[in-house]
Amino acid sequence: MGRTSLSTNKLKCGDTSLKLSKVKLSDIGTYKCLVPKTGTESVVALTVGSVSSPDMKISKVTNGAVLQCSSEGWYPEPEVLWLDGEGNLLSAGPPETVRGPDDLYTVSSRVTVEKRPSNSFTCRVQQKDTNQTRETTIHLPDDFFMDQSNSAVRITICLAACFMSVMAVFVLWKCGPHQIKNTNGSTERQHLVEEDKTIQLDMKEEKLHEELQKIEGDLKHVQQVIPTLTNQKKDLENQRKKLNSLLDEDNKQIEKNNKKLKEIPKFDTDKKMEKRVKTRKDLDRRKTEHDELLWNTGKLQETAEKMITIMKERKEKLERDKKKINEHLKEMERQREETKLQLEQQEREEEKNNPSSNDDK
């Protein structure tokens, strides 16, 4: 009651279309149009549907990512599909579906993905009965799939190994000379310990330099990605402004067309009305396309903002790791100088304790 209407102007042209306003799920059913004078009738089945655009969230896991997709306000109950950049279906668990008090469905699904050639992933929510589909696509950069903990773990292991080696050398240096004091063997052993310490420092330093080189390469790549994403975000913002301008123009054209539809042409009535109706359909179709483009552009802009945040966090992490390695390299250089001085001191003491060898020389 109170939600049905007919157009007086359209009735004059033989158009008896029935308009239902504020459609509800209870409006589902069969409707009949009957012309009593001719006894003709037509039947149409009305299917009511409700759709909503999906949202996607990203969380980082070891060597991969968990993508969670959710969409609310669907009717009838939809299905959720995951696809990669080549259109192949991805294996995911059964979606979670909840039916609200308004009889509309909320669906959510998650999938774990690893690095792929395109790193592009799409969440598609579709309802076959109403032939409605909504989807969201996200592209993840290669850096996102790198194990961000590897650098810190390798640095920690190097630091721990180096510390243990230095402590072991220190114990040998402290204990060895007291146990065999004032003997040639004591001097030789201490000398070997210091040389071994130098060798271990060289090995640790080489590993740290390799790790530093890798971090600098990753950091350089991240520093290149951030401006690219920022420019993409800016381009998307400009595109949104253009689309909003086009939608304003669409609304003006539709309003202008509506006025013409209410006017009855004086000449060639049928032909002109047919042309105006066609124009209205074209305007509606163009407005729908602009609406969809605006929505997709907004989603892409959100994705770009998320990726910029991820890349900035990654950049800060790499810079911290680089700083730690440089600090440790300086400490190792200091230890190397100390070891060098100790070796020189041992050689001088050895010359004093063995004057005969000096005479031979």
Per-residue pLDDT, 355: 62
The predicted-structure confidence for 97-108, as pLDDT tens digits, reads as follows 999 988 899 999
pLDDT at 44 over 60: yes
The predicted-structure confidence for 138-160, as pLDDT tens digits, reads as follows 888 877 766 544 444 444 444 44
Fold annotation for 148-355: Helix Hairpins (1.10.287)
Boundaries of every domain in the chain:
4-46, 50-140, 148-355
pTM of the model: 0.40
Per-residue pLDDT, 74: 93
Per-residue pLDDT, 198: 66
- Of 61-75, 182-196, 312-326, the one with minimum mean pLDDT is 182-196
Residues 6 or more apart whose CB falls under 8 angstroms from that of 29 comprise 45, 46
CA distance 58 to 139: 11
Q: From the centroid of its chain, how far is CA 248? A: 32
Per-residue pLDDT, 263: 81
Side-chain-facing half-sphere of 55: CA atoms under 13 Å? 8
Give domain 50-140's CATH architecture: Sandwich (2.60)
Per-residue pLDDT, 192: 55
Report yes or no: 126 and 81 within 8 Å, Cβ to Cβ.
Answer: yes
Per-residue pLDDT, 179: 41
Domains 50-140 and 148-355 belong to one CATH topology: no
Report yes or no: 42 and 50 within 8 Å, Cβ to Cβ.
Answer: no
pLDDT at 167 over 90: no
User: Strand 19-20 to strand 4-5: parallel, antiparallel, or no bridges (unpaired)?
Assistant: antiparallel
Position 197, amino acid: K
Torsion of CA 109, 115, 118, 124, to 10 degrees: 0
Report angle CA 213, 216, 217 to the nearest 5 degrees: 85
- Tell me the pLDDT of the chain averaged across its residues: 80
